[in-house]
Structure 1
Amino acid sequence: MFGLIGHLTSLEHAQAVAQDLGFPEYADQGLDFWCSAPPQTVDHITVTSVTGQQIEGYYIESCFLPEMLATRRIKAAIRKILNAMAHAQKQGIQITALGGFSSIIFEEFDLQQNKQVRNVELDFDRFTTGNTHTAYIICRQVEEGATKLGIDLSKATVAVVGATGDIGSAVCRWLDKRTQSADLLLVARNQERLQNLQSELGRGKIVSLEEALPQADIVVWVASMPKGVEIDAATLKQPCLLIDGGYPKNLGTKIQAPGVYVMNGGIVEHSLDIDWKIMNIVNMDAPARQLFACFAEAMLLEFEKLHTSFSWGRNQITIEKMEQIGQASLKHGFRPLLSFVGG
């Protein structure tokens, strides 16, 4: 049995879909109500591999909302993630993926120190961030997207925005090993972490976002978009491939210009329909088959009976683990989403 812990993109979004999820009493409630709402199991899921193997799982709505961070309700956000993890464990779920902000909150606030959640002692081996599969899928999108646009990746300049994060650093390692001739531009807020990453790779140029964008043939965006930041599409190369690995995904609406191609990063398509309803509320084009790669990691670990924290801790993702989860992904019928937003 696998589990998926997720959340909606905003209070407005949550209010709009509460009715569909079977919680009409949540639909008109404000942020304070959502801060106190307990996690809920809202979907039973059946997934069939192309091998014929079938697994079952549950989607758990954590009731976390990004506004909790924006309005400094940090304790509420932390409580949401820990309570959702305890809820999953109490149901006997063997491997659960922390989707969206769930894994970010866990890492940023070092929640591994909070092992006891009321009467539940969390077994962290039952949880994965899903970041290894997400990083693998983004790298495949870079490689195959470049081919579609006629960009020679071995000669391209690739900017990774959010390079020091768990996914961003993994993407940098992959690009460093698999496309050694590509120029790497490293963009992030923390200069010390940037310098450490540059030292680890033995290459890569540390630049600001404003410096990186006009130089890049490919931009991998795996950081949250800061408020007030606008990207002038006229400054971008043509063609330019943008991989939007953030959540929620919004580069496709913010940047629309001839020669600029946006892919929704970290999204996979399954070869067979998945029996669930949850992807209908996150605006997937084909909700029966498309899903976040982090969620797919929990499914893959269940298919492979690898009930372990496959992705865990900051900047621990290796090329070998990316290749391992990538092979499992192909084996069971998952593939990177390669369509361009609006295309």
Structure 2
Amino acid sequence: MFGLIGHLTSLEHAQAVARDLGYPEYADQGLDFWCAAPPQIVDTITVTSVTGQQIKGQYVESCFLPEMLAQRRIKAAIRKILNAMAHAQKNGINITALGGFSSIIFEEFNLNQNRQVRNIKLEFERFTTGNTHTAYILCRQVEQASQKLGIELSKATVAVCGATGDIGSAVCRWLDAKTDVPELLLVARNQERLQLLQEELGRGKILSLEEALPQADIVVWVASMPKGVEIDPSTLKQPCLLIDGGYPKNLGTQIQHPGVYVLNGGIVEHSLDIDWKIMSIVNMDVPARQLFACFAESMLLEFEKWYTNFSWGRNQITVEKMELIGQVSLKHGFRPLLEF
């Protein structure tokens, strides 16, 4: 059985979803309540591969909310992720993907040092961040969506915003090794990590966001656009492809301009309907078919019976592992979302 650990985008969203799912005791509660709320299995899932193979899974709602980070309730956020992992393991789930902020919190706060959660010793081989599949899908979206728009990669400048993160660095490695993109722009907050990435690649210009955007034909956003940051779309190239790989996704609502195309990044479509209800709650356009690529990674690992933490640790994603997960993604009927 595979598992998905997720969370909702805000307190308001969580309250509305709790009401829809039949948890009225959660629906009218404030942030203090959600900080104390335990993880819950709220959905049972059936996925059928195009090969005919069928697998079962469960969605674990961690009850983490992004407001916990904004209001400096870091201990609550950490507790949420560890408790959700323990809950998944206790329920016998073989391989579980850490979705959204779950993997970010795990890596940023070195939660691999916290193996003991009450009476459960976490078995980390049961968990994957899903970042390898996400990075692969983002790269395929760059390749395929640019072709749809008539942007030639062999002449294109690609900016990667969040380039030093686990997914961002993997995207840079793929673009360097597997495409003929002539110019990579590297954007991130940590200058030391940027320089190390530049040295690893042997190329790439380190620029600020303001410097990079007007030069880029394609922009890959690996994180949500920060609050307070505004982009003047008239300064962007036309055509310009913006791939929004963050969660929650916010580029499409903030940037609407002729010649600027925003694509929901890191999203896959399955060839067959998936029996679940959770994707309608996170507002997928076609909830029976569309899902986050990180979630799909745990499905792929279950299909292949690869019970291992396929994606784990910061900046460990190789092009070879991206190719491997890409092969089984295609085998079982997943493809990158390409609708603008």
TM-score, normalised relative to structure 2: 0.99
Gaps of 5+ in 2: none
Tell me the residue number matched to 1:4.
4
* Residue deviations 1:229-264 (CA, integer Å, cap 9, x gap): 001000000000000000001100100000000000
Query: Aligned-residue CA RMSD in angstroms?
Result: 0.6
Cα displacement (A) at 1:18: 0.3
In 2, the alpha carbon distance for the partners of 1:49 and 1:224 equals: 31
* Residue deviations 1:41-87 (CA, integer Å, cap 9, x gap): 00000000000000000000000000000000000000000000000
Tell me the residue number matched to 2:185.
185
Q: Is the 8 A contact 2:131 2:311 kept in 1?
A: yes
Report the residue type matching 1:111 in the other structure: L
In 1, the alpha carbon distance for the partners of 2:100 and 2:223 equals: 12
Q: Is the 8 A contact 2:275 2:288 kept in 1?
A: yes
Report the residue type matching 2:117 in the other structure: V
Q: Give the match's secondary structure for 1:309.
A: coil
Tell me the residue number matched to 1:313.
313
* Residue deviations 1:130-158 (CA, integer Å, cap 9, x gap): 00000000000000011000011011000
TM-score, normalised relative to structure 1: 0.99
Identity level (%) = 86
Report the residue type matching 1:267 in the other structure: I
Gaps of 5+ in 1: none
Tell me the residue number matched to 1:62.
62
Tell me the residue number matched to 1:132.
132
Tell me the residue number matched to 1:110.
110
Tell me the residue number matched to 1:14.
14
Q: Give the match's secondary structure for 1:47.
A: strand
* Residue deviations 1:261-312 (CA, integer Å, cap 9, x gap): 0000000000000000000111100000000000000000000000000000
Cα displacement (A) at 1:225: 1.9
Tell me the residue number matched to 1:93.
93
Q: Is the 8 A contact 2:158 2:181 kept in 1?
A: no
In 2, the alpha carbon distance for the partners of 1:176 and 1:255 equals: 28
Given the alignment of the two structures, is residue 45 of structure 1 paired with residue 58 of structure 2, yes or no? no
Q: Give the match's secondary structure for 1:5.
A: strand
Number of corresponding residues: 340
Q: Is the 8 A contact 2:224 2:249 kept in 1?
A: no
Tell me the residue number matched to 1:251.
251
Tell me the residue number matched to 1:237.
237
Q: Is the 8 A contact 2:38 2:83 kept in 1?
A: yes
In 1, the alpha carbon distance for the partners of 2:265 and 2:113 equals: 31
Report the residue type matching 1:184 in the other structure: L
Cα displacement (A) at 1:181: 4.0
In 1, the alpha carbon distance for the partners of 2:167 and 2:180 equals: 19
Report the residue type matching 2:88 in the other structure: A
Q: Is the 8 A contact 2:133 2:297 kept in 1?
A: yes
Given the alignment of the two structures, is residue 336 of structure 1 paired with residue 336 of structure 2, yes or no? yes
Given the alignment of the two structures, is residue 208 of structure 1 paired with residue 208 of structure 2, yes or no? yes
Q: Give the match's secondary structure for 2:21.
A: coil
In 2, the alpha carbon distance for the partners of 1:31 and 1:260 equals: 37
Tell me the residue number matched to 2:153.
153
Report the residue type matching 1:263 in the other structure: L
Runs of 4 or more above 2 Å deviation: none
Tell me the residue number matched to 1:280.
280
Tell me the residue number matched to 1:142.
142
Report the residue type matching 2:47 in the other structure: V
In 1, the alpha carbon distance for the partners of 2:15 and 2:286 equals: 23
In 1, the alpha carbon distance for the partners of 2:160 and 2:248 equals: 18
